[in-house]
Amino acid sequence: MVATKPDKTGMEWIEKLAEYGFDYAELPIAQLMELSDGDFETLKKRLKATGIQCETGNNLFPVTMRLTGPDTNIETIKEYAEKAFFKEASLGVEYCVFGSGPAKNVPDGFPKEKGLSQVVSMLHEIAGIAQKNGIGIVIEPLRKEECNLINTFEEGVELAKAVNEENVKVLIDFYHLTEEKESVSHIVKDGREFLRHVHIANPVGRVYPKVFTEADYGPFIEALHTVGYDARISCEAYSPNGFDKDAPAAVEFFHKYFV
């Protein structure tokens, strides 16, 4: 969803999600953590009233929290994770998306290998916190323009293997895959074991998908079918024409090609 209010959660569209036939909401975790207790309870009531559940959450860490570099503090990270996963569980969230490009971007002059090691250790530490709340973590590869660490599904799988925790798997985002020119063969190779969540957007403008011919969706969809992926797909995109115009078209697109 496209957030239009100062809280940047996108919760203003919850009722519209139900109206247009979406199955669930994916809300930004770092922004939800900034809500007052009262506003958080209001969110829970709105979700319950519409029948829309917040099954996934993205943007796990705020941009101000350092996950790599000399200024990381694992105790601060764990304290945040305890609160975040507890709150997410209270919404019914099953998977939290670990993209968090600004937080995990390796600072200039800091060894990238050491930054990667820090992320592996951090995920080890928070996987148990997520597990006790009944939550899985999905690693989101991001294009190089947004982060200099974990840019492809293939690299995400290698990270998940290094972490070696049952509840730490990988997400594939069609936009980032397209931007990185990554082969869908990587999905076919490791998707059955590691793929647990999908994001999609029309890569031309990173907008809501509408028609099959606007992008090269075919190989991507075929790869998902090949590995038997039949779980959630979130639309993570901009809405230049307005949510009321773009959202219904996106729902129709999903039903036609993914259901």
3-class DSSP assignment, residue 198: strand
pLDDT of residue 1: 56
pLDDT of residue 31: 97
Q: What is the distance between the alpha carbons of residues 23 and 25, in angstroms, rounded to a whole number?
A: 7
Q: Contact, 57 vs 26, CB < 8 A?
A: yes
Q: Give the count of beta carbons closer than 10 Å to the beta carbon of residue 3.
A: 15
3-class DSSP assignment, residue 200: strand
Per-residue pLDDT of the chain in tens (259 residues, 90 and over written 9): 578 888 999 899 999 999 999 999 999 999 999 999 999 999 999 999 999 999 999 999 999 999 999 999 999 999 999 999 999 999 999 999 999 999 999 999 999 999 999 999 999 999 999 999 999 999 999 999 999 999 999 999 999 999 999 999 999 999 999 999 999 999 999 999 999 999 999 999 999 999 999 999 999 999 999 999 999 999 999 999 999 999 999 999 999 998 7
Q: pTM value?
A: 0.96
Q: Contact, 96 vs 138, CB < 8 A?
A: yes
pLDDT of residue 2: 72
Q: What is the distance between the alpha carbons of residues 173 and 26, in angstroms, rounded to a whole number?
A: 14
pLDDT of residue 258: 87
At position 113, the amino acid (one-letter code) is: E
The strand pair at 168-173 and 195-200 is best described as: parallel
In order of their start, the domains of the chain are 11-258 (3.20.20.150)
Where does residue 69 fall: left (phi above 0), alpha (psi -120 to 50 degrees), or beta otherwise? Answer: left
Burial of 213 (0-12, 13-18, 19+ CB in 10 A): exposed
pLDDT of residue 79: 98
